[in-house]
Amino acid sequence: MPLRYWAPPWISPSSCGGSKPIGALLLLWPTLWAVWLAAEGRPSAGILIIFVLGTWLTRSAGCALNDFADRNFDAHVERTRHRPLAAGEIRPAEALAVAAALGLAAFALVLFLNRFAILLSFVALGIAVAYPFSKRVFAFPQLILGIAFGFGIPMAYAAIQNQLPPECWALLAANVCYSFAYDTEYAMVDRADDAKLGMRTSALTLGAYDVPAVMLSYMLMLAILSGVGIMLKMPGPYYVGLAAAWSMMLYHYFLIRGRTREGCFRAFRHNNWVGVAIFLGIVFSYPLRLPWP
């Protein structure tokens, strides 16, 4: 099997997001938000291991499937022409085999969870498979990406609480806004190439309104997360985390307002720290909220 897909994302040379682990991290942080909130600040080691490893495996499988779906386009885009399929290093059947193997490995982890979580994993699979092909027909594929990247949220609640309470759906909605913002920044990098190839992206659909739409998505995300904090009666550190995230989002505005490839890609990658700030706000809230032994 090609090492580029099997290797951890931080050493994978060029597939699905480059040599940094940004894709896996953008998938991981919202999942960890949900794990911590669903477990009220005390997730078990087993749950953490399953969801962290599951995130890596799912992201790697998604990369292989995404490269298969885009194999006829990536060679014509500067940023993606070195991906394994686009560069002719592997065959399409190999990419599908890797995606299937990694998907089965992720499903093996899910089998350690309860029946509800196992059933939800099939829904997650369907959304993940649909996303790479949605770019051909849907003007805002970033919305589907947001659901796919956020499906660890309902799975975490299903695994820990065996239910999907209102805050679970609110977190998923916040993640859709988050994903729409950062993936629109990502799409702004490839705007010219995507236009030539006839791809559908939010950056092309929005045109001159792309920057306002990104900032509006960020604001909606923070508004929803603030509502979650009120709903769960979270203490001050939670809102400090949201405030830190907002300061980073303002920084992104200055990066993307000129619509340069470099600025938009820097903003996209910097979204990792948005996820970190929110996660730390959640983590540090619970020592003030719960009686610890």
Band the pLDDT of 80: cuts 50, 70, 90: low
Q: Which of 189, 154, 179, 150 is nearest to 18 (CA)?
A: 189
Helix (H, G, I), strand (E, B) or coil at 16: coil
**Whole-number Å distance between alpha carbons of 70 and 132:** 8
How many angstroms from the chain centroid is the CA of residue 135? 16
Band the pLDDT of 21: cuts 50, 70, 90: confident
Supply the pLDDT for residue 138.
75
Higher model confidence: residue 9 or residue 237? Answer: 237
Mean per-residue pLDDT of the chain: 85
Q: Show the tokens assigned to 271.
A: 């979204």
Band the pLDDT of 287: cuts 50, 70, 90: confident
Is 70 exceeded by the pLDDT of residue 275? yes
Helix (H, G, I), strand (E, B) or coil at 91: coil
**Whole-number Å distance between alpha carbons of 228 and 175:** 12
Supply the pLDDT for residue 142.
82
Is 50 exceeded by the pLDDT of residue 28? yes
Supply the pLDDT for residue 230.
96
Is 50 exceeded by the pLDDT of residue 176? yes
Is 90 exceeded by the pLDDT of residue 73? no
Query: 96-107 pLDDT, tens per residue?
Result: 888 889 989 999
Helical pair 166-189 and 152-161, crossing angle rounded to 10 deg: 160
Q: Show the tokens assigned to 132.
A: 């790479």
H or E segment to which residue 257 belongs: none
Sign of CA dihedral 258, 272, 189, 213: negative
Most confident of 4-13, 204-213, 270-279: 270-279
Is 90 exceeded by the pLDDT of residue 46? yes
Band the pLDDT of 254: cuts 50, 70, 90: very high
**Largest pairwise CA distance in the chain:** 60
What's 293's DSSP letter?
A: -
Band the pLDDT of 5: cuts 50, 70, 90: very low
Supply the pLDDT for residue 293.
43
Q: Show the tokens assigned to 47.
A: 């749950």
Domains of the chain: 3-289 (1.10.357.140)
**Whole-number Å distance between alpha carbons of 122 and 134:** 18
**Whole-number Å distance between alpha carbons of 267 and 182:** 8
Is 90 exceeded by the pLDDT of residue 36? yes
**Whole-number Å distance between alpha carbons of 253 and 249:** 7
Supply the pLDDT for residue 132.
79
CB 201 within 8 Å of CB 142? yes
Band the pLDDT of 19: cuts 50, 70, 90: very low
- Cα→Cα distances 73→5, 183, 201, 280, Å: 19, 18, 14, 39
Residue type, 193: D
3-state helix, strand, coil in the chain (%, to 5): 75, 0, 25
Higher model confidence: residue 177 or residue 99? Answer: 177
pTM: predicted TM-score of the whole model, two decimal places:
0.85
Average pLDDT of the residues in 149-157 = 94
CA torsion, points 28, 34, 37, 43, in degrees to nearest 10?
-60
Supply the pLDDT for residue 169.
97
**Whole-number Å distance between alpha carbons of 60 and 284:** 30
**Whole-number Å distance between alpha carbons of 241 and 225:** 11
Query: 88-139 pLDDT, tens per residue?
Result: 667 778 778 888 899 899 999 999 999 999 999 999 988 888 887 777 777 7
Supply the pLDDT for residue 175.
96
Higher model confidence: residue 189 or residue 227? Answer: 227
Band the pLDDT of 34: cuts 50, 70, 90: very high
